[in-house]
Protein backbone atom coordinates (compact mmCIF):
# COMPACT_ATOMS: atom_id res chain seq x y z
CA UNK A 1 0.00 0.00 0.00
CA UNK A 2 0.95 3.63 -0.39
CA UNK A 3 0.83 5.03 3.13
CA UNK A 4 1.06 8.54 4.49
CA UNK A 5 2.58 8.34 7.98
CA UNK A 6 1.49 11.16 10.26
CA UNK A 7 4.63 11.86 12.31
CA UNK A 8 4.09 13.98 15.40
CA UNK A 9 7.71 13.87 16.52
CA UNK A 10 6.95 11.41 19.31
CA UNK A 11 8.05 7.83 19.77
CA UNK A 12 4.69 6.22 18.93
CA UNK A 13 4.32 7.74 15.46
CA UNK A 14 8.03 7.10 14.79
CA UNK A 15 7.70 3.38 15.48
CA UNK A 16 4.41 3.26 13.53
CA UNK A 17 6.19 4.72 10.48
CA UNK A 18 9.11 2.31 10.93
CA UNK A 19 6.79 -0.69 11.08
CA UNK A 20 4.97 0.48 7.94
CA UNK A 21 8.29 0.68 6.10
CA UNK A 22 9.37 -2.72 7.44
CA UNK A 23 6.06 -4.23 6.25
CA UNK A 24 7.00 -3.28 2.70
CA UNK A 25 4.63 -0.37 2.19
CA UNK A 26 5.52 2.73 0.20
CA UNK A 27 5.69 5.28 3.02
CA UNK A 28 5.83 9.08 3.01
CA UNK A 29 6.14 10.98 6.28
CA UNK A 30 4.26 14.19 7.06
CA UNK A 31 4.26 16.44 10.10
CA UNK A 32 1.24 18.65 10.70
CA UNK A 33 2.08 22.24 11.62
CA UNK A 34 -0.87 23.16 13.81
CA UNK A 35 0.54 25.94 15.96
CA UNK A 36 0.02 29.55 14.91
CA UNK A 37 3.15 30.37 16.90
CA UNK A 38 5.80 28.35 15.03
CA UNK A 39 8.60 29.55 17.31
CA UNK A 40 7.01 27.91 20.34
CA UNK A 41 9.07 25.12 21.91
CA UNK A 42 7.76 22.22 23.93
CA UNK A 43 8.26 22.44 27.71
CA UNK A 44 8.96 18.95 29.05
CA UNK A 45 5.95 16.82 28.22
CA UNK A 46 3.52 19.67 27.79
CA UNK A 47 2.11 20.50 24.40
CA UNK A 48 2.95 19.13 20.97
CA UNK A 49 3.19 20.11 17.29
CA UNK A 50 6.08 22.53 17.93
CA UNK A 51 9.22 23.36 15.97
CA UNK A 52 11.10 20.88 18.18
CA UNK A 53 8.58 18.16 17.32
CA UNK A 54 8.82 18.79 13.58
CA UNK A 55 12.61 18.52 13.75
CA UNK A 56 12.35 15.26 15.67
CA UNK A 57 9.96 13.89 13.04
CA UNK A 58 12.29 14.96 10.22
CA UNK A 59 15.24 13.15 11.85
CA UNK A 60 13.21 9.95 12.12
CA UNK A 61 12.15 10.18 8.47
CA UNK A 62 15.80 10.58 7.52
CA UNK A 63 16.72 7.50 9.53
CA UNK A 64 13.96 5.53 7.77
CA UNK A 65 15.01 6.97 4.40
CA UNK A 66 11.50 8.07 3.47
CA UNK A 67 10.30 11.37 1.93
CA UNK A 68 9.18 13.89 4.53
CA UNK A 69 6.99 16.99 4.36
CA UNK A 70 5.52 19.55 6.74
CA UNK A 71 1.93 20.51 5.96
CA UNK A 72 0.52 23.73 7.40
CA UNK A 73 -2.91 22.98 8.85
CA UNK A 74 -2.79 25.82 11.38
CA UNK A 75 -5.73 27.76 9.91
CA UNK A 76 -7.92 24.68 9.73
CA UNK A 77 -6.85 23.71 13.26
CA UNK A 78 -7.76 27.15 14.57
CA UNK A 79 -11.20 27.08 12.98
CA UNK A 80 -12.19 23.49 13.69
CA UNK A 81 -10.51 22.84 17.04
CA UNK A 82 -9.47 26.05 18.83
CA UNK A 83 -12.49 28.15 17.85
CA UNK A 84 -14.80 25.21 18.56
CA UNK A 85 -13.21 24.86 22.00
CA UNK A 86 -13.87 28.53 22.75
CA UNK A 87 -17.46 28.48 21.47
CA UNK A 88 -18.27 25.32 23.43
CA UNK A 89 -17.08 26.89 26.69
CA UNK A 90 -19.01 30.06 25.86
CA UNK A 91 -22.13 27.89 25.48
CA UNK A 92 -21.63 26.29 28.89
CA UNK A 93 -20.20 23.00 27.62
CA UNK A 94 -16.92 21.23 28.39
CA UNK A 95 -15.40 20.06 25.08
CA UNK A 96 -12.72 17.50 24.32
CA UNK A 97 -10.35 19.12 21.78
CA UNK A 98 -8.39 15.89 21.18
CA UNK A 99 -11.49 14.21 19.75
CA UNK A 100 -12.23 17.29 17.63
CA UNK A 101 -8.65 17.24 16.31
CA UNK A 102 -8.95 13.59 15.33
CA UNK A 103 -12.36 14.21 13.78
CA UNK A 104 -11.59 17.40 11.87
CA UNK A 105 -7.83 17.38 11.27
CA UNK A 106 -6.08 14.02 11.43
CA UNK A 107 -8.88 11.93 9.96
CA UNK A 108 -10.70 14.49 7.86
CA UNK A 109 -8.46 17.22 6.48
CA UNK A 110 -5.34 15.05 6.44
CA UNK A 111 -7.07 11.93 5.20
CA UNK A 112 -8.95 13.83 2.48
CA UNK A 113 -5.69 15.31 1.21
CA UNK A 114 -3.95 11.94 1.39
CA UNK A 115 -6.63 10.22 -0.68
CA UNK A 116 -6.61 13.06 -3.20
CA UNK A 117 -2.85 12.52 -3.60
CA UNK A 118 -3.29 8.80 -4.23
CA UNK A 119 -2.48 7.35 -0.81
CA UNK A 120 -4.33 4.24 0.32
CA UNK A 121 -4.18 4.91 4.06
CA UNK A 122 -2.95 7.18 6.82
CA UNK A 123 -0.81 5.58 9.51
CA UNK A 124 -0.67 7.02 13.04
CA UNK A 125 0.81 5.97 16.36
CA UNK A 126 -2.57 5.53 18.03
CA UNK A 127 -3.14 2.44 20.13
CA UNK A 128 -6.20 0.80 18.57
CA UNK A 129 -6.89 -2.09 16.22
CA UNK A 130 -8.92 -2.44 13.04
CA UNK A 131 -10.41 -5.79 12.04
CA UNK A 132 -12.73 -7.05 9.32
CA UNK A 133 -16.12 -7.87 10.82
CA UNK A 134 -19.28 -9.43 9.39
CA UNK A 135 -20.60 -5.99 8.38
CA UNK A 136 -17.33 -4.37 7.32
CA UNK A 137 -14.31 -2.93 9.10
CA UNK A 138 -14.50 -2.48 12.85
CA UNK A 139 -12.36 -0.59 15.35
CA UNK A 140 -11.46 -2.34 18.60
CA UNK A 141 -9.52 -1.48 21.71
CA UNK A 142 -5.76 -1.94 21.68
CA UNK A 143 -4.31 -5.01 23.35
CA UNK A 144 -2.63 -2.72 25.91
CA UNK A 145 -5.69 -1.34 27.71
CA UNK A 146 -3.51 0.99 29.77
CA UNK A 147 -2.50 2.75 26.52
CA UNK A 148 -5.74 2.18 24.62
CA UNK A 149 -6.71 5.28 22.63
CA UNK A 150 -9.89 4.03 21.00
CA UNK A 151 -11.86 6.58 23.06
CA UNK A 152 -10.30 9.55 21.25
CA UNK A 153 -10.78 7.72 17.93
CA UNK A 154 -14.48 7.16 18.57
CA UNK A 155 -15.33 10.01 16.19
CA UNK A 156 -14.07 8.11 13.14
CA UNK A 157 -16.66 7.15 10.54
CA UNK A 158 -16.81 3.89 8.63
CA UNK A 159 -15.50 5.66 5.52
CA UNK A 160 -12.51 7.05 7.42
CA UNK A 161 -11.81 3.76 9.15
CA UNK A 162 -11.42 2.13 5.74
CA UNK A 163 -8.27 4.24 5.21
CA UNK A 164 -6.74 3.98 8.71
CA UNK A 165 -3.62 2.01 9.60
CA UNK A 166 -2.70 1.57 13.28
CA UNK A 167 0.52 -0.50 13.47
CA UNK A 168 0.80 -0.28 17.28
CA UNK A 169 -2.58 -1.73 18.20
CA UNK A 170 -1.31 -5.22 19.05
CA UNK A 171 1.68 -4.08 21.10
CA UNK A 172 1.05 -4.95 24.77
CA UNK A 173 2.97 -2.08 26.38
CA UNK A 174 4.54 1.33 25.80
CA UNK A 175 7.81 0.04 27.27
CA UNK A 176 8.09 -2.36 24.33
CA UNK A 177 7.57 0.54 21.91
CA UNK A 178 10.37 2.53 23.57
CA UNK A 179 12.66 -0.50 23.55
CA UNK A 180 11.94 -1.09 19.86
CA UNK A 181 12.61 2.56 19.07
CA UNK A 182 15.97 2.35 20.85
CA UNK A 183 16.90 -0.80 18.94
CA UNK A 184 16.07 0.97 15.67
CA UNK A 185 18.26 3.92 16.65
CA UNK A 186 15.34 6.34 16.88
CA UNK A 187 16.49 9.32 18.95
CA UNK A 188 13.07 10.04 20.48
CA UNK A 189 12.90 6.61 22.13
CA UNK A 190 12.75 8.18 25.63
CA UNK A 191 10.95 11.39 24.70
CA UNK A 192 8.16 12.13 27.23
CA UNK A 193 4.57 11.71 26.13
CA UNK A 194 2.76 14.98 25.55
CA UNK A 195 -0.17 15.80 27.80
CA UNK A 196 -2.61 18.62 28.48
CA UNK A 197 -4.26 20.57 25.68
CA UNK A 198 -1.64 21.18 22.99
CA UNK A 199 -2.64 24.81 22.39
CA UNK A 200 -2.64 25.53 26.16
CA UNK A 201 0.81 24.11 27.01
CA UNK A 202 0.97 25.72 30.47
CA UNK A 203 -2.21 23.89 31.48
CA UNK A 204 -4.01 27.05 32.64
CA UNK A 205 -7.30 26.63 30.74
CA UNK A 206 -9.14 29.26 32.76
CA UNK A 207 -6.42 31.86 32.20
CA UNK A 208 -6.32 31.05 28.49
CA UNK A 209 -10.08 31.44 28.18
CA UNK A 210 -9.98 34.72 30.11
CA UNK A 211 -7.88 36.18 27.31
CA UNK A 212 -10.48 35.24 24.70
CA UNK A 213 -13.86 35.45 26.41
CA UNK A 214 -15.32 38.18 28.57
CA UNK A 215 -16.26 37.20 32.06
CA UNK A 216 -19.86 38.14 32.83
CA UNK A 217 -20.79 38.09 36.53
CA UNK A 218 -23.89 36.13 37.48
CA UNK A 219 -25.66 34.19 40.20
CA UNK A 220 -24.74 31.03 42.03
CA UNK A 221 -28.00 29.20 42.79
CA UNK A 222 -29.22 25.92 44.22
CA UNK A 223 -31.45 23.59 42.21
CA UNK A 224 -34.58 25.36 43.40
CA UNK A 225 -33.27 28.66 42.01
CA UNK A 226 -32.44 30.20 45.38
CA UNK A 227 -29.59 32.67 45.01
CA UNK A 228 -26.63 31.70 47.20
CA UNK A 229 -23.95 34.04 45.91
CA UNK A 230 -22.32 35.53 42.83
CA UNK A 231 -19.66 34.35 40.41
CA UNK A 232 -17.31 36.45 38.28
CA UNK A 233 -17.82 34.40 35.12
CA UNK A 234 -19.49 31.02 34.59
CA UNK A 235 -16.83 29.82 32.14
CA UNK A 236 -14.40 29.48 35.03
CA UNK A 237 -16.42 26.68 36.64
CA UNK A 238 -16.60 22.97 35.88
CA UNK A 239 -19.09 20.30 36.91
CA UNK A 240 -17.90 18.59 40.10
CA UNK A 241 -15.88 21.60 41.28
CA UNK A 242 -15.89 22.17 45.03
CA UNK A 243 -13.25 24.82 45.71
CA UNK A 244 -13.50 28.46 44.78
CA UNK A 245 -17.28 28.83 45.00
CA UNK A 246 -17.01 31.63 47.58
CA UNK A 247 -20.64 31.34 48.63
CA UNK A 248 -19.81 32.66 52.08
CA UNK A 249 -22.16 30.52 54.18
CA UNK A 250 -22.55 26.75 54.63
CA UNK A 251 -25.38 24.60 53.37
CA UNK A 252 -28.24 23.83 55.76
CA UNK A 253 -26.81 20.36 56.44
CA UNK A 254 -23.29 21.74 56.85
CA UNK A 255 -21.91 19.66 53.97
CA UNK A 256 -19.87 21.04 51.07
CA UNK A 257 -21.55 22.09 47.84
CA UNK A 258 -20.39 21.22 44.35
CA UNK A 259 -21.01 22.62 40.89
CA UNK A 260 -23.85 20.55 39.41
CA UNK A 261 -24.40 22.42 36.14
CA UNK A 262 -23.91 25.66 34.27
CA UNK A 263 -26.85 27.46 32.68
CA UNK A 264 -25.48 29.56 29.81
CA UNK A 265 -28.71 31.41 28.96
CA UNK A 266 -29.32 32.66 32.50
CA UNK A 267 -25.57 32.76 33.26
CA UNK A 268 -26.13 30.82 36.46
CA UNK A 269 -23.90 28.29 38.20
CA UNK A 270 -25.99 25.63 39.93
CA UNK A 271 -24.56 24.03 43.08
CA UNK A 272 -25.75 21.30 45.38
CA UNK A 273 -24.80 18.29 47.51
CA UNK A 274 -22.26 15.70 46.40
CA UNK A 275 -24.83 12.96 45.81
CA UNK A 276 -26.38 15.06 43.02
CA UNK A 277 -23.22 14.47 40.98
CA UNK A 278 -24.22 10.81 40.61
CA UNK A 279 -25.67 10.36 37.11
CA UNK A 280 -27.68 7.37 35.92
CA UNK A 281 -28.65 8.59 32.44
CA UNK A 282 -26.84 10.61 29.79
CA UNK A 283 -28.11 11.69 26.40
CA UNK A 284 -26.93 13.75 23.48
CA UNK A 285 -26.49 14.25 19.78
CA UNK A 286 -23.66 15.09 17.36
CA UNK A 287 -23.28 11.33 17.10
CA UNK A 288 -21.35 9.18 14.64
CA UNK A 289 -20.73 5.47 14.08
CA UNK A 290 -17.39 3.82 13.37
CA UNK A 291 -19.05 1.14 11.26
CA UNK A 292 -22.27 -0.64 10.45
CA UNK A 293 -23.68 -1.77 13.82
CA UNK A 294 -25.49 -4.82 12.44
CA UNK A 295 -28.68 -4.03 14.36
CA UNK A 296 -31.36 -1.34 14.67
CA UNK A 297 -30.13 1.47 16.93
CA UNK A 298 -33.76 2.44 17.61
CA UNK A 299 -34.11 -0.81 19.57
CA UNK A 300 -32.58 -0.82 23.05
CA UNK A 301 -29.21 -2.56 23.03
CA UNK A 302 -26.66 -3.53 25.67
CA UNK A 303 -23.28 -1.82 25.58
CA UNK A 304 -20.61 -0.13 27.68
CA UNK A 305 -20.12 3.62 27.84
CA UNK A 306 -16.92 5.56 28.53
CA UNK A 307 -17.03 9.32 29.16
CA UNK A 308 -13.34 10.17 29.59
CA UNK A 309 -10.15 9.03 27.90
CA UNK A 310 -8.83 7.29 31.01
CA UNK A 311 -12.12 6.35 32.67
CA UNK A 312 -13.33 2.80 33.09
CA UNK A 313 -16.22 1.82 30.81
CA UNK A 314 -19.46 0.96 32.59
CA UNK A 315 -22.26 -1.40 31.47
CA UNK A 316 -25.33 0.33 30.11
CA UNK A 317 -28.25 0.13 27.72
CA UNK A 318 -28.73 2.60 24.89
CA UNK A 319 -31.12 3.59 22.13
CA UNK A 320 -31.34 6.22 19.39
CA UNK A 321 -34.58 8.17 19.53
CA UNK A 322 -36.15 11.54 18.62
CA UNK A 323 -35.48 14.31 21.13
CA UNK A 324 -38.54 14.75 23.30
CA UNK A 325 -39.63 18.38 23.62
CA UNK A 326 -40.03 18.06 27.38
CA UNK A 327 -36.44 16.83 27.69
CA UNK A 328 -34.81 19.38 25.42
CA UNK A 329 -32.46 21.71 27.32
CA UNK A 330 -30.70 24.95 26.47
CA UNK A 331 -27.56 22.88 25.86
CA UNK A 332 -29.14 20.92 23.00
CA UNK A 333 -28.09 22.12 19.58
CA UNK A 334 -31.08 23.67 17.86
CA UNK A 335 -30.68 21.59 14.69
CA UNK A 336 -30.54 18.26 16.55
CA UNK A 337 -33.60 16.05 16.02
CA UNK A 338 -32.36 12.75 17.49
CA UNK A 339 -30.18 11.78 20.41
CA UNK A 340 -28.61 8.69 21.87
CA UNK A 341 -29.98 7.93 25.34
CA UNK A 342 -27.83 5.80 27.64
CA UNK A 343 -28.99 4.30 30.94
CA UNK A 344 -26.29 2.98 33.29
CA UNK A 345 -26.82 -0.63 34.34
CA UNK A 346 -26.96 0.08 38.07
CA UNK A 347 -27.06 -3.62 38.94
CA UNK A 348 -23.49 -3.94 37.67
CA UNK A 349 -22.04 -0.43 37.94
CA UNK A 350 -22.11 2.70 40.03
CA UNK A 351 -23.61 5.86 38.55
CA UNK A 352 -21.31 8.13 36.57
CA UNK A 353 -19.85 11.01 38.57
CA UNK A 354 -19.49 14.65 37.55
CA UNK A 355 -20.73 14.42 33.97
CA UNK A 356 -20.52 17.71 32.05
CA UNK A 357 -22.43 18.61 28.88
CA UNK A 358 -20.00 18.81 25.98
CA UNK A 359 -18.08 15.71 27.03
CA UNK A 360 -17.92 12.88 24.53
CA UNK A 361 -19.41 9.51 25.36
CA UNK A 362 -18.03 6.54 23.42
CA UNK A 363 -20.07 3.35 23.16
CA UNK A 364 -18.48 -0.11 23.12
CA UNK A 365 -19.80 -3.60 22.51
CA UNK A 366 -17.12 -5.78 24.01
CA UNK A 367 -13.84 -4.39 22.68
CA UNK A 368 -15.50 -2.95 19.59
CA UNK A 369 -16.07 0.80 19.29
CA UNK A 370 -19.62 1.35 18.10
CA UNK A 371 -19.54 5.15 17.94
CA UNK A 372 -19.81 8.30 20.01
CA UNK A 373 -22.02 11.26 20.87
CA UNK A 374 -21.67 14.60 22.61
CA UNK A 375 -23.45 14.75 25.96
CA UNK A 376 -26.19 17.40 26.12
CA UNK A 377 -27.90 16.38 29.34
CA UNK A 378 -27.29 14.23 32.38
CA UNK A 379 -29.99 12.89 34.73
CA UNK A 380 -29.17 12.43 38.45
CA UNK A 381 -29.47 8.96 39.91
CA UNK A 382 -32.66 8.15 41.81
CA UNK A 383 -33.71 4.88 43.38
CA UNK A 384 -33.64 2.81 46.52
CA UNK A 385 -29.99 1.80 46.53
CA UNK A 386 -27.10 3.67 48.07
CA UNK A 387 -24.23 4.84 45.90
CA UNK A 388 -20.51 5.28 46.49
CA UNK A 389 -19.36 8.76 45.48
CA UNK A 390 -15.71 9.66 46.00
CA UNK A 391 -15.26 7.11 48.77
CA UNK A 392 -18.42 8.08 50.64
CA UNK A 393 -21.48 5.85 50.70
CA UNK A 394 -24.43 8.15 50.17
CA UNK A 395 -28.13 7.50 50.27
CA UNK A 396 -29.85 7.64 46.91
CA UNK A 397 -31.24 10.87 45.57
CA UNK A 398 -34.98 11.14 46.03
Annotation says 198 is catalytic: yes
Annotation says 98 is catalytic: no
Measured over the CA atoms of residue 183, residue 184, residue 186 and residue 190, the dihedral's sign is negative
- Check 49, 98, 198, 303 and give the catalytic one: 198
- Report yes or no: 204 and 196 within 8 Å, Cβ to Cβ: no
Give the pairing type, strands 26-33 and 68-72: parallel
- Check 48, 49, 101, 303 and give the catalytic one: 101
**Over the range 30-40, which residues count as b (16 or more CB within 10 Å of their CB) and which as e?**
bbbbbbeeeee
Q: In a 10 Å sphere around its CB, with 0-12 CB exposed, 13-18 middle and 19+ buried, how is residue 343 labelled? A: middle
Q: Give dist(CA 209, CA 211) in Å, integer.
A: 5
Beta bridge mates, 393:
388
User: CB within 8 A of 254, min separation 6: which ones?
Assistant: none
Q: Give dist(CA 56, CA 191) in Å, integer.
A: 10
Just list the catalytic residues.
101, 198
Amino acid sequence: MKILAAMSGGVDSAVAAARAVEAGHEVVGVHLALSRMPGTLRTGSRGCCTIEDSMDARRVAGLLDIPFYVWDFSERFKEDVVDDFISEYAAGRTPNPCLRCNEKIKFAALLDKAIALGFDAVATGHYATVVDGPNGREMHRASAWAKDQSYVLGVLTAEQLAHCYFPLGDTPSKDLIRAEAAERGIQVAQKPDSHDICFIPDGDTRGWLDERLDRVPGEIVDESGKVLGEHDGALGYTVGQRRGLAIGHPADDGKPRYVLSIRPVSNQVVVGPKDQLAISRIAGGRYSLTGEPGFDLAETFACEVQIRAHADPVPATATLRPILDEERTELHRAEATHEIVVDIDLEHAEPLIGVAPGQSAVLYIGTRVLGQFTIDRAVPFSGDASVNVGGEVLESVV
